[in-house]
Amino acid sequence: MAAKSNRVKLALRRNAVQTAKRAEVRTLAVGYLRVSTEEQAQSGFGLDAQEDAVRKYADAVGLELIDVIADPGISGTTRPSERPGFREVMALAVDRRFSVLLVKRFDRLARNIALAVTTSAELDTAHGVTIRSVTEAIDTGSPSGKLIFSVFSAMAENERDAIVDRTKGGRMQKAGKGGFAGGRIPYGYVSDGRGGLAIEDRTAAVVLRIFSENGAGRGLQAIADGLNHDEIPSPRGRRWWPSNVSYILGNAVYAGQVEYVFITGGNAELVSGPGTHAGILR
The pLDDT of residue 19:
52
The pLDDT of residue 228:
94
The pLDDT of residue 159:
57
Dihedral sign for Cα 51, 56, 61, 67, please.
Answer: positive
15-to-9, 18, 109 alpha-carbon distances in Å: 10, 5, 30
Per cent of the chain over pLDDT 90 is 31
Q: For residues 191 and 183, give the distance between their C-alpha atoms in angstroms, rounded to a whole number.
A: 11
Do residues 23 and 97 lie in contact, with contact meaning Cβ atoms separated by under 8 Å?
A: no
The pLDDT of residue 187:
92
Task: Please give the distance of CA 148 from its chain centroid, rounded to a whole number.
Answer: 24
Per-position pLDDT tens, the chain of length 282: 445 455 555 655 665 555 545 555 578 999 999 998 755 544 456 888 999 999 999 999 899 999 999 999 888 888 888 999 999 999 999 888 898 999 998 888 887 766 777 787 778 877 888 888 888 766 666 666 666 666 665 665 565 566 566 666 666 776 667 678 777 788 999 988 888 889 999 999 999 999 999 999 999 999 999 999 999 999 888 899 999 899 899 888 898 888 777 766 556 677 778 888 888 887
CB atoms within 10 A of CB 246: 15
Q: For residues 214 and 222, give the distance between their C-alpha atoms in angstroms, rounded to a whole number.
A: 9
The pLDDT of residue 203:
93
Catalytic residue among 36, 75, 150, 234: 36
| Catalytic residue check, 36 | yes
pLDDT tens, position by position, 113-146: 667 777 877 788 778 888 888 887 666 666 666 6
The pLDDT of residue 12:
57
| Fold exhibited by the domain 6-160 | Rossmann fold (3.40.50)
The pLDDT of residue 90:
92
Long-range contacts of 187-191 (CB under 8 A, 24+ apart): 187/235, 187/248, 188/248, 188/254, 188/280, 189/253, 189/277
Comparing CA positions, the residue from 114, 118, 115, 111 lying closest to residue 155 is 111
Q: What are the residue ranges spanned by the domains of the chain?
A: 6-160, 177-274
